[in-house]
Amino acid sequence: MRVVIIEDETLASERLKNMILSYDKDIEIIAQLESVEESVEWFREHAHPDLIFLDIHLEDDLSFAIFEKVDISSSIIFTTAFDEYAIKAFKLKSIDYLLKPIVQEELNAALEKYRQMTSAGRQSEDLHKLYELIVKKDEAYRERFSVRVGQKIKTFAVSDVSYFKSESGFTTACLHDNKNYYLDLSLDSLSEEIDPSRFFRINRQMLVSLDSIKDVHILSTSRLKLDLEPKTDENTLVSIDKVTPFKKWLEGQG
């Protein structure tokens, strides 16, 4: 296995090199690069490695800038101190990462995963799509609602909602504790304001949270029915045109 390390801290690069060789002394570290500029020049002049250990923040730019200038087909293991949102993005794209400070056991597991993927003939993921996930700032999705209940104001978090339902022109938020509150918002508006990784519009009447789904029943090749918590008498069929995107959403690809 031929490996390139891209890391702008010399001590960290050397430590990673020693850890890789500790896992397998026959791995060949063919280059240790420190910047986007140096990496671009190296990849233009050399045969690409099997695997790259890639730090995200380099001294001259985000390392993703490398892929804007050079087409690289090598597999990637990220080494990063990035936040939880970014780590989630790595997982969704099935690209491995090592959170700094790196420990030997996690490095070994990442290398084992790489070997299993390559032995199964899996291709590396689309780095440009991952780049969009990482550099894109967090969307300012709604976090809570305030509603009037009698002469009081009730506030609850979006995370408390199991599903939203629309009936007779009214939108209701059904919470995990089975309490219901009317909202002065349409489902169309809600769909734009809440995190699409957590909620899905299954049909014209319902917008459901991932946490509310207890079971998914396959009625036919084009029909799905959901069991939700809390239980509801409303139509819980996934619209035919939404079945495929719903399945992708369940797998974290939405």
* CATH code, domain carrying 178: 2.40.50.1020
Specify whether 99 is located in the same domain as 48.
Answer: yes
Q: Is there a contact between 78 and 100 (Cβ–Cβ < 8 Å)?
A: no
Does 130 lie in the same domain as 149? Answer: no
Are residues 125 and 220 located together in one domain of the fold? no
Q: What is the pLDDT of residue 82?
A: 62
Q: Distances from the Cα of 150 to the Cαs of 28, 38, 147, 252, in angstroms?
A: 71, 66, 10, 40
Looking up residue 80, the CATH number of its domain turns out to be: 3.40.50.2300
Same domain membership, residue 80 and residue 17: yes
Q: Residue 113: which of 127, 95, 126 has the closest Cα?
A: 95
Select from 87, 110, 135 the last residue of a domain: 135
CB 193 within 8 A of CB 186: no
Q: Is 224 helix (H, G, I), strand (E, B) or coil?
A: strand
Which residue stretches of the chain have pLDDT < 50? 85, 92-94, 137-138
DSSP sequence for 5-71: EE-S-HHHHHHHHHHHHHH-TT-EEEEEE-SHHHHHHHHHHS---SEEEEESB-SSSBTTHHHHHS-
At 56 the pLDDT is: 82
Q: How many structural domains comprise the chain? A: 2
What pLDDT does residue 123 have? 52
Q: Are residues 95 and 203 in the same domain?
A: no
Asked if 190 and 242 sit in the same domain, the reply is yes
pLDDT of residue 138: 47
Residues 130, 216: one domain? Answer: no
- Of the three residues 79, 109, 135, the one that is the final residue of a domain is 135
Determine the Cα–Cα distance for residues 173 and 178; give it in Å rounded to an integer. Answer: 10
Residues 128 and 189 reside in one and the same domain: no
Residues 107 and 161 in one domain: no
The dihedrals phi and psi of 98, each to the nearest 5 degrees, come to -125, 120
Domain that holds residue 30: 2-135
pLDDT computed for residue 120 by the predictor: 62
Written as six digits, the tokens of 68 are 């804007």
Strand partners, 206: 165
Q: What per-residue confidence (pLDDT) applies to 134?
A: 61
Q: Where are the alpha helices (DSSP H) in the chain?
A: 10-23, 36-45, 65-69, 84-92, 104-119, 127-135, 187-193, 243-250
Boundary of a domain, candidates 81, 110, 135: 135
**Same-domain status, 129 and 26:** yes
Is the domain of 103 the same as that of 179?
no
How much is the pLDDT for 137? 47
Give the integer Cα–Cα distance in Å for 134 and 64: 9
Asked if 52 and 148 sit in the same domain, the reply is no
